[in-house]
Structure 1
């Protein structure tokens, strides 16, 4: 089977998808933006061919590269796992007759307004939302549904470009910062109070074959705006708990409504005073290396399971559910350059057996802003057989480890 994989080396976990495709017997071909010589040696050895183009989101250039490949060999699959790449790849996939996620599905998983329209029609509980392109429309929505409101790009990933306005003054500020004042299209939603988590799946033929539930501590907007917080993302190993049945049922309903077939998905949800509410979906794996947490917690290779689904239409290993696993972001006390760390030795003495991976940039490394995400500076990935004990370990790490900068 010949599989073209888009952008095989950046970000770095892209290499794991190439590795997995190669491991299950696929002949892997790459299309990317970087020169071939910039790819690491292992990735180059796993690629049967590689075509560099200017931008993989340029549909014209991408289609040219795919058709060039089709002139040389039969292409069975055209795959991508990056949010911004899903729609252009789906459009090219349809124009070149390659099976996979459709352009309709990719569009609905990218455009938050259209997504929620379809899901509400299917009976999935979601926040009120609308597409807007002016300050007047934003204030009209707030007048109809009340404050707070959330404004975000229609096709953003994660919390990028997302703002919360608690009153008219804050909404006026958001209108300026978001580009609405200049007519930039956006999505506006009513604010949903509650705890935020996500439901990740690997689907084959429209049915969930592997699934995982993770929790944010605290919710994303607060985590991405507040320096002193050491935010956590924790994947539970209590997947059979009755409380999660509603999440799973909602996830399958979303998959059915959007026509999702064989792919990974990443679904965000809230649970609060108004019950369970769906937030949004990506037709791709989650970010922040979360699949590595799933691999560590379940003692299996989820990347290989994805490759099995893509190439052979099945999965062949069940997750162990032995460990809860989570990541904690450890942020520098200020922006500048990292000067050192304190508290790490005591943490390693207490929990070294539980820490499965970590990253502590060396002194002298420029810091990255809080908004850059969970893995922007220092971080650690940890697991434990008991979910509550893992939460305590992560809390202890966040309170004990200091990242110094100057």
Structure 2
């Protein structure tokens, strides 16, 4: 099996997908814009060949790279990046080279916010009311019907980039005077932010699933430079699992990771926010591995190469991401913090600049079977002087 992996060196732990593919028996062919000599040794060992392009967004260069691989190794069986930035290029390349997986028309449904909303409504999954902000009349009519606050977000965007809340007429007038095209407006939701996350096999069956609880929405975290923490749950709330499974089926997620966000108003009331047909961001995959003592990089590779789906797991721990931001005076210095919470820390590391707006600048990955212990440790990470 020939697998083209796009941007195999970023995010930083994605090299594990390539090593797992190689161990599963695949021929792994990498495309990226970093010099080959700068790739970590484990990644270089996993790649049969690496094609460097001048820029990842240059589709003609990506097309030539896949053409070269086809000429040299035969038909390409999979093309993947598992990264939000490159989902559109992945899909176009799959269509051009007739490769299994998501195509551009799929992204119209599961990457555009308007497409997601249509999918949720069709499947009977509660979600916020919203419309495409085609002009001021449409927006004002929507606000008159639903009231403030409302959220403006790009119909197609990465994370919470360029997403903002409007709470009154004066703000709305300013926005409508300078609103770029391609935005949608929706009723603001309130409640706890949770996610249903996992991996599906080729037939669409869910082979791994978990849930995470977030300290705040990504929009608030980015726009207000808040601390972000989130942690996994050992037991998935029943209504979250029911709606999460229904969403996976409705969007026909096959041989892919998924990250589905919901607002929970009370134990029986959830509203879908969005679906991402990729792994959750940051170090979430590592957290899921830590929580269950498994290797989801390997599980995905074996699912791809061998169509394997007979995996088993137990959520032994709550795993958490707690972060710090540069320029903040914290109560505990780094070494003192490690002395305080050291037994719970499974890793601590710098967060790449490309992810730091939402995730913070430095992450502490924690785990414990006790949720209270996790929350106490998070409070110490974030405590300011």
Same fold (TM over 0.5): yes
Q: CA deviation at 1:346?
A: 3.9
Which residue of structure 2 lines up, in the alignment, with residue 356 of structure 1?
Answer: 346
Unaligned runs of 5+ in 1: 362-366
Q: Pairwise CA RMSD of aligned residues? A: 2.5
Query: Is this contact kept in 2: 1:197–1:216, CA < 8 A?
Result: yes
CA contact (8 A) 2:127 2:271 kept: yes
CA contact (8 A) 2:8 2:81 kept: no
Q: Distance in 1 between matches of 2:264 and 2:104?
A: 31
1:260 matched to 2:245? The reply is: no
Q: How does 1:214-233 map to 2 (within 5 A)?
A: 214-227=212-225, 229-233=226-230
Asked if structure 1 preserves the Cα contact closer than 8 Å seen for 2:114 and 2:155, the reply is: yes
Matches of 2:158 and 2:213 in 1, distance apart?
17
Give, in whole Å, the separation in 2 of the partners of 1:174 and 1:387: 42
> Alpha-carbon deviations, 1:325-381, whole Å to 9, x = none?
1011112345xxxx99844444323321110111369xxxxx97997121x422211
1:252 Cα deviation from its structure 2 partner? 2.2
Residue number in structure 1 paired with 2:323: 329
CA distance in 1, matches of 2:356, 2:142: 27
- Give SS of 2:383's match: helix
Note if contact 2:332-2:380 (Cα within 8 Å) is conserved in structure 1: no
Query: Cα offset for 1:152?
Result: 0.9
User: What residue number does 1:14 align with?
Assistant: 14
**Structure 1 residues 137 and 5: alpha-carbon distance in aligned structure 2, compared to 1, 3 A threshold:** same
Which moves more between the two structures, 1-10 or 306-315? Answer: 306-315
Distance 1:23 1:306 in 2: 12
Q: Distance in 2 between matches of 1:38 and 1:161?
A: 32
Question: What is the Cα deviation at residue 146 of structure 1?
Answer: 1.4
Separation of aligned partners in 1, 2:247 and 2:332? 45
How far did residue 102 of structure 1 move? Answer: 3.3
Q: Deviations over 1:128-170 (max 9, x none)?
A: 1112244443333212221111111112122221101111222
Partner residue of 2:275 out of 268, 271, 281: 281
**1:259-317 Cα distance to aligned partner (Å, 9 max, x none):** 22111111111011691111101111011111111111111111111111222222454
- Correspondences of 1:193-342 after superposition (within 5 Å): 193-204=190-201, 205-227=203-225, 229-239=226-236, 244-272=237-265, 275-333=269-327, 342=332
Q: What TM-score does the superposition give when structure 1 sets the normalisation length?
A: 0.87
User: Against the structure 1 CA distance between its residues 369 and 16, is the aligned structure 2 distance closer, same or farther, given a 3 Å change threshold?
Assistant: closer
Distance 1:371 1:381, change over 3 A: closer
SS in 2 for 1:169: helix
Alpha carbons of 1:370 and 1:40: their partners in 2 closer, same or farther (altered >3 Å)?
closer
Question: Which range moved further: 94-103 or 42-51?
Answer: 94-103
Shift of 1:57: 3.8
Q: Is the 8 A contact 1:207 1:252 kept in 2?
A: no
Shift of 1:199: 1.0
Deviation at 1:56, TM superposition (A): 3.4
Note the 1:11-50 alignment, pairs <5 A: 11-50=11-50
In structure 2, do the counterparts of structure 1 residues 38 and 19 end up closer, same or farther at CA, with 3 Å as the change threshold? same
Report the TM-score when normalising by structure 2. Answer: 0.91
How many residues of Structure 1 are paired with residues of Structure 2 in the alignment? 382
Deviation (angstroms), 1:395:
1.4
User: Relative to structure 2, which stretch is displaced further, 127-136 or 109-118?
Assistant: 127-136
Indicate how the Cα distance of structure 1 residues 69 and 344 shifts in structure 2: closer, same or farther if over 3 A, else same.
Answer: closer
Residue 390 of structure 1 pairs with residue 374 of structure 2: yes
- Corresponding position of 2:358: 373
- Residues 75-114 of structure 1: matches in 2 within 5 Å? 75-114=76-115
Match of 1:128 in 2: 129
Kindly indicate whether the alpha-carbon contact (under 8 Å) linking 2:84 and 2:158 is maintained by their aligned counterparts in 1.
yes
Partner of 1:364: none
CA distance in 2, matches of 1:347, 1:371: 21
